Amino acid sequence: MMRSKKALICFLLIGLSSTMLFSQWVKPKGKGYYKLSAWYLEYDQHFTDTGEKDPNVTRGNFNVNFYGDYGITDKLDLIAYIPFFSRTFQNEVRSGTTGELITSGEAVNAIGDIDLGVEYGILNAGNLALSGSLILGLPTGDSSGGSDGSYQTGDGEFNQFVKLNIGIPFSLANAPMYSKTYAGFNNRTKDFSDEFRTGLEIGINVLNNKLWIIGKSDVVKSLKNGNLNAQNNQGNIFANNIEYVSLGGEAAYYITEKLGVSLNYTSAVSGRIISAHPSYSGGIFLDIK
């Protein structure tokens, strides 16, 4: 089994784009957005390197994580994503007729790969926000856990993700809305292939400014310039040369002006060397404006 790279947060995977609510609008100095959440994925199918679906022994990933976005100045934010508990597991397989154990179950618990970064506000013209981000992926997770080394919570490599973000606020029938997009390049070490990433997000505010309904799409394209074997017959979300197009939705409800809860559903609609089942996440956030 090859070494891995956290592709999702993968959907989340995948860069910090899925946890960065309103990330194109840099926080004012001393303000911030903080979120404690849990993320879950279980799958018995994966996309192969040709884009077809194949079955696999049921595997899964679960983590509890913290995300923070703090305004150091009016133009510069400090960003952190910390999966402080990460679990990867495989269910046991028994014969349907005899009950005989065919494949043993196994699990590994560890910290995941931590992401640290900065975001700089280039332009904020009221109806247009432009920013640039640098996210560093630290190899803090377990890259070779379990009896066969395939139970990873991290990939053992240090990567640097540089992206440009554009956001536009507008309204529809007096309901506040926004649209934002990003595009970037993820440089990966340890013979992993580099990646091009892009995404689009649209949100609308309803219920007297208490509820945001958000639709998201992310695309990851491997440049296939690394030397690691791209095959992964278990559909591991941490493999090299992962590619996918994902669609997702999120609901964020403000209980008070600052405190809220959120739920997220994301699934790859096509891909290569990636799990073929959806992921779910939910959390509580503090938005200090």
Whether residue 23 is predicted with pLDDT greater than 60 in this model: the reply is: no
Whether residue 271 is predicted with pLDDT greater than 50 in this model: the reply is: yes
Q: How confident is the model at residue 236 (pLDDT cuts 50, 70, 90)?
A: low
Query: Which among 249, 252, 177, 239 has a CA at the least distance from the CA of 218?
Result: 249
Q: How confident is the model at residue 11 (pLDDT cuts 50, 70, 90)?
A: very low
Burial (CB count within 10 angstroms: exposed 0-12, middle 13-18, buried 19+), residue 174: exposed
Whether residue 234 is predicted with pLDDT greater than 60 in this model: the reply is: no
Which sequence spans correspond to the domains of the chain? 32-90+108-288
The CA distance from 255 to 275, in Å, is 34
Burial (CB count within 10 angstroms: exposed 0-12, middle 13-18, buried 19+), residue 125: exposed
The CA distance from 171 to 56, in Å, is 45
188-217 residue pLDDT tens: 999 999 999 999 999 999 998 899 999 999
3-state SS assignment for residue 30: coil
The residue with greater pLDDT, 85 or 227, is 85
The CA distance from 62 to 89, in Å, is 9
Residues listed for the chain: 289
Q: How confident is the model at residue 248 (pLDDT cuts 50, 70, 90)?
A: very high
CATH superfamily label, 32-90+108-288: monomeric porin ompg (2.40.160.40)
pTM of the model: 0.89
Assess contact for 38 and 264: CB atoms under 8 A: no
90-131 residue pLDDT tens: 998 877 788 888 888 899 999 999 999 999 999 988 789 999
pLDDT > 70 in the chain, percent: 89
Mean of all residue pLDDT scores within the chain: 88
Residue 237's pLDDT is 65
The residue with greater pLDDT, 233 or 251, is 251
Residue 24's pLDDT is 61
Q: How confident is the model at residue 13 (pLDDT cuts 50, 70, 90)?
A: very low
- Cα→Cα distances 279→7, 8, 43, 90, 259, Å: 12, 9, 9, 16, 24
Residue 126's pLDDT is 73
Residue 98's pLDDT is 85
